[in-house]
Amino acid sequence: MFTRLLEDHITKLTASEALLAALAFACVLLFGASVLFLYEQRQRAVRKRLDMSGPMDVPATRTRESRFLRFVEHIGNFISHGHASTSLWEQMIRAGYMSRGAPAIYTGVKMLFFAIGLAITAFFVLPSQQSVVQKTVWISLGGLIPFFVPNFAVLVRERKRREEIRQHLPDAIDLLEICVSAGIGLDMAWNLVADEIRHVSSVLGSAMDLSNFEMHLGASRTEAMRNMATRTGAEQLTSLAAILVQSERFGTSVADTLREFATWMREERHLTAEERAEKMPTKMLFPMALFIFPAIMVISIGPAMIHITRTLAVQ
């Protein structure tokens, strides 16, 4: 009985109603997935802090990953044949996903979203009275739109990390300048600043720790800093590596160089803030025209229009 009622209801749905229902379901599904993802990120951060407070720091292993992530990783390895491209690796590293299975999980999530989008759209579109071409187009769009959601999420995370580095790098440069002016070597000052800046910005602190690890393995300071700039995508770190190379080559004061660089970065940040403030009225024009002005028109002209309509109806 219930199955028959469901079939009758599906056959009565129009194309617009089916599409609206599919989009609403997809929005609710993506919202729930984002809430669960944020909750898992917070739990992971808490577990990481608890592990750091213990006697030794145990790295995350595959045994701690959930079954869902392992399943998605198997899908990604099957699609990519176990080999990820260099550009994908660089994108994952810039976004902060440095585990070995990050590209496979990323590919698996994209394919999973694609399959879910296809299934949901097909469920609502196939019973409609549309042509085969229209059904194919709607089903393709329903699969392609969720397919590119992970791309957007990775780009947002990458931009957020780069902005955090740009925000806290002047403070780190100031600490470096203070340490160098006090007579501490640049390598030792780099270690001290990495330990201190981690309490303010974990992204910048982790990037400095990784570059410090590269220097301990034998890489030069310039090469390690350029690799850090490549991993984070921050152009300011490339400029910092360049000015340190020039300071060592020409024998100028490293402390003065760092002081001038920190001042330049703060001026750049101030100019960027002014530029965003100047763009704000233009960006606010569309929301105001779409949401605020119609409400004002309804409030101001609505009562008069109702009165005129009633007067004409009486006459």
**From CA 234, how far away is CA 231, in angstroms rounded?**
8
Nearest residue to 173 via CA among 208, 202, 203: 208
Which CA distances in Å does 19 have to 59, 114, 125, 126?
45, 17, 7, 11
- Res 5: pLDDT: 46
Provide the pLDDT for residue 56.
Answer: 41
Q: Is 21 helix (H, G, I), strand (E, B) or coil?
A: helix
C-alpha span between 89 and 99 (Å, rounded): 10
Q: Are 169 and 269 in contact (CB under 8 A)?
A: no
- Given this model, what pLDDT does residue 303 score? 83
CB-based contact 222:249 (threshold 8 Å): no
Amino acid at 228: M
pLDDT at 196: 85
Q: Counting every residue, how long is the chain?
A: 315
Confidence at residue 21, expressed as pLDDT on a 0 to 100 scale: 63
* CA pair distance 283, 288, nearest whole angstrom: 9
- The residue extents of the domains of the chain are 2-147, 161-269
Give the contacts of 141 (CB within 8 A, at least 6 positions apart). 121
CA 52 to chain centre: 25
- Looking at residue 130, what is its pLDDT? 80
User: Using an 8 Å Cβ cutoff, are 72 and 112 in contact?
Assistant: yes
pTM above 0.85, yes or no: no
Q: Mean pLDDT in runs of 10 for the chain (315 residues)? A: 49 55 67 68 65 45 62 78 78 82 84 87 82 84 86 89 85 85 83 85 84 83 81 80 79 81 83 86 83 83 83 75
Residue 210: name the closest of 224, 195, 223, 196 by CA: 224
Determine contact, residues 188/212, Cβ cutoff 8 Å. no
The whole-angstrom separation of Cα 277 and Cα 269 is: 12
* CA distance linking residue 39 with residue 58, whole number of Å: 22
Residue 79 confidence (pLDDT): 79
